[in-house]
Amino acid sequence: MSYSNPIIPGFNPDPSIIRVGKDFFLVTSTFEYFPGVPIYHSQDLIQWKLIGHALTRPSQLQIHTPEPGGGVWATTIRHHAGVYYIMAASFQRYRPQQDDRVWPQGFYVRTTDIWNEKTWSDPIYFDQVGFDQDLFWDVDGTVYLSSTYRKTQPTIGANLKDFAIHVCTVDLATGHSTSAPKLIRESSSGVAEGSHIFKRGRYWYLFTAEGGTESGHSEWVNRSEVGPFGPWELGPNNPLWRNGVEDEVQNTGHADLVEDTKGQWWAVVLGVRPSRQGDMWQESVLGRETFLVPLEWKDDWPVINGGQKISLNSNGPGLYQFDIPVSWRDEFSEPQMQVGWYRKNTPFVNDYSLTERPNYLRLHGGPYNLSVPASPTMFLRKQTHHLCRWETKLSFEPTVDETEAGTVVWLNYFTYSSIGIRKDSKGRFIRFRPSEGDIVEHRLDTNTAVTLTVDCGTEYQFGYCEGTESEVHWIGSVSNSAATAAPPVGANFTGMMLGLYAFGERQRCLAPADFAYAEFR
């Protein structure tokens, strides 16, 4: 049966999946955003619902001023003896341009009630550094931790990252290693990461993402008849598939496996779907997304997607076509924020209210503007479709010149475009601040609420209308290439988000910014 990819669109990289009974649960990476680790649920692998996050408290996650691409990397979810585990690591310093990174200590959180995000434990930290942590419980009860970090002995005569897979045994109660780490997989590309260990029949299997998460990305497999320490036998058909730079889906890899209730195996992988502009591919604004492909076992080796390239239109037993809706709306009528809003970094203070003015999101802008690496007063949603319109209605009467509130197209604190309300001695005005190009300002004629609009497509167009006006005044645009420009430090591991903000320039914004709604359509 045919179905459409991606199954979870927008910024949702590094998928990891389990099945418990008839329920599938899937997690993805969040990097510098809070709350961390979204948890999706499905019963048919096609329709997924965000049910919560694993890292929702400052006691679980402290992210402050990391570079773009820092924060929580590649999470893994597992279920063992009635307990759900999520493993991760958080980079507080990530500067690959200077080969300057602090290898984080990974951690896990656990719960017996995955439906209630408040029940996830505080982290238990491993004393083994690395990223892309994976836990494997062997049949004798031994727990193995695999992770990626640089080899202690660099490859001689080669300029490689030397990122390799290491494994050790671990005491889950304390997080302490109980054996010395052993290097079990390295790649001629210089990058082997995203390890997952499975046991099937008489073999242990090691799946690894290799070549880096860009155009060289691929998935490899090894197996062992002895155990997680090896020795490992390289699979006969590596990489397991290969998408190239001219395909409609690119950069595919980082697989995790699940078996459904009927005995059919599946793999979830990350991929990007760039936009075609003439005879060129344009980098996807949506970032790395979650794709699903069937898996078969032949001669005790996995064959993913028949060894063929992953495409937007796929085939797999028992699945069906489903168009993920574009439309979404939040009227801020509940006492808590809808699930799916994100902050940049862990916020220091409570700077918003849903009750001070009922049916509005009220922001009390903090002292950081959007170009500061700290956590501004800003709430973000993931863009999940190339073609859509983002809209919000804002009531804001600034009392000093150095304050602003509005809406933003956000990639990181180096690359964003905003349209907001400010004031000067002559009154209120709209300021459009593009990620590339000159600032544009338009005087407002009234003191009414202002509707702010962003059209997303081959470019981002920004506009506004006052009061009851129905016609949008378009003030400027930003190309998709400018909106996805690489930062001077860090990396673009995320995808586009749109959101609401308020700030003062090194001061609190004393005038509240009230948002009546936010919507995609």
Distance CA 325, CA 141 (A): 44
Q: Region 283-294: what's the mean pLDDT?
A: 97
pLDDT score recorded for residue 192: 97
pLDDT of residue 279 exceeding 90: no
Domains plus CATH for the chain? 2-315 (2.115.10.20), 328-520 (2.60.120.200)
Q: What angle do CA 134, 140, 145 make, to 5 degrees?
A: 20
CB atoms within 10 A of CB 401: 11
pLDDT score recorded for residue 468: 87
- What residues are paired with 151 via a beta bridge? none
HSE of 52 in the Cβ direction (CA atoms, 13 Å)?
A: 13
Distance CA 196, CA 178 (A): 20
pLDDT score recorded for residue 406: 98
Q: Is 14 a catalytic residue?
A: yes
The model's pLDDT over 203-243, given as tens digits with 9 standing for 90+, comes to 999 999 999 999 899 999 999 999 999 999 999 999 999 99
Total residues found in the chain within this entry: 521
Residue 85 CB-density burial (10 A; 0-12 exposed, 13-18 middle, 19+ buried): buried
* Residue 415 and residue 434 in contact, taking contact as beta carbons nearer than 8 Å: no
Catalytic residue among 117, 132, 193, 391: 193
Q: Is 193 a catalytic residue?
A: yes
Residue 176 CB-density burial (10 A; 0-12 exposed, 13-18 middle, 19+ buried): middle
CB atoms within 10 A of CB 4: 18
pLDDT score recorded for residue 276: 84
The model's pLDDT over 137-169, given as tens digits with 9 standing for 90+, comes to 999 999 999 999 999 998 988 889 999 999 999
Distance CA 377, CA 269 (A): 33
DSSP 121: P
Residue 265 CB-density burial (10 A; 0-12 exposed, 13-18 middle, 19+ buried): middle
Distance CA 438, CA 361 (A): 30
pLDDT of residue 280 exceeding 90: no
